[in-house]
Amino acid sequence: MKNILVPTDFSATAQNAARYTLELAKQLGAPKVILYNAYQAPLMIDPMVPAVSLLDEAQLKEASRHELDKFKLALQAFCPDNCVLETYCEYALLNNGLDAPCVANDAGLIVMGITGGGMLEEKLIGSNTVAVARHSQTPVIIVPKDAVFRPVKTVVLLSDFDKADKTIPVKAVRRIVENTKAKLLVFNREEIPDEYGVMYPSNVVGESYAVHTLLQDLNPEFHFSKNKHYVEAVNQFALEHQADMVITIPKRHSFLESLFTTSHTTQLAFHTHVPLMVIQG
């Protein structure tokens, strides 16, 4: 198991995500958890304020290090015995993902907290957490703000069975299931029956068989829902089956589509009741 990177803005939500990570690190046997802060120069709104008054990068870095040290101190008591808690900061934006700091710290997993957003935030602005999950090739676990750690015993993989052999990152799914020794449930929302009452077109049946073939060594169980509301269907299923983690594989959308639609992944990120792992296909 590689290290785990935990981006933080030092908020209560971030602290809860960090505590969750330390418990998860114990279950996974992760050797190191890195508390990460990306700092930027403050945005200047008043054009009359001279640029020289801006904090220079050295001052920003020192402030980031100071806050990270305080953050680490507050979390040290929760760190497992065989895990090292470290800090890492850099001048950066989160919009393009966190693959570079993951490489620098040999991290194979990112864990972040998220708070519920309003319609404007979800559709237009989003959040740093969603941006990281969308752009990082490293798997990202999104922890709801009030989530309490439970050992991961049941994992739900969301799949629409569309080109499964090309879209499901089998290695990443297998890694989390094998490392946690969890039961794997594959969940799909049923298609609306056509005029002849046919529920499963032949291509769907074929794709479901393809998913089973890809994951058969993990002994997956397959489940379906008729609920037409995606997030509600997922949350209800996760609750009924006492899922400890949900895995989603986001679909790729064009830039114009992303401006006017909210993806299932984004909806789940803001409204999930259990930790959500986002793995790029």
**Tens digit of each residue's pLDDT (9 = 90 or more) over 114-134:** 865 544 444 433 478 888 988
What is the pLDDT at residue 46?
Answer: 55
| Residue 196, CA distances (Å) to 193, 199, 202, 227, 228 in order | 7, 9, 14, 20, 19
150-281 folds as Rossmann fold (3.40.50)
CATH for the stretch 1-145: 3.40.50.620
Write down the number of H helices and E strands in the chain.
11, 10
Q: Residues 249-253: what's their mean pLDDT?
A: 70
Q: What is the pTM of this model?
A: 0.84
Q: Residues 197-203: what's their mean pLDDT?
A: 47
The fraction of the chain above a pLDDT of 90, given in percent, is 46
Which carries the bigger pLDDT value, residue 176 or residue 45?
A: 176
127-166 in b/e burial notation, b at 16+ Cβ within 10 A?
A: bebbbbbbebebbbbbbbeebebbebebbbbbbbbeebee
The model's pLDDT over 67-121, given as tens digits with 9 standing for 90+, comes to 999 999 999 999 999 999 999 999 998 888 899 999 999 999 999 998 655 444 4
Residue type, 111: V
What is the pLDDT at residue 213?
Answer: 75
Mean pLDDT of the residues in the chain: 81
Q: Quote the CA–CA distance of 58 and 86 in Å, as a whole number.
A: 20
Q: Quote the CA–CA distance of 139 and 155 in Å, as a whole number.
A: 15
The model's pLDDT over 14-35, given as tens digits with 9 standing for 90+, comes to 999 999 999 999 999 999 999 9
What is the pLDDT at residue 127?
Answer: 73
Which carries the bigger pLDDT value, residue 76 or residue 205?
A: 76
14: CB partners within 8 A, 6+ apart:
6, 7, 8, 112, 113
**Which part of the chain is CATH 3.40.50.620?**
1-145, 150-281
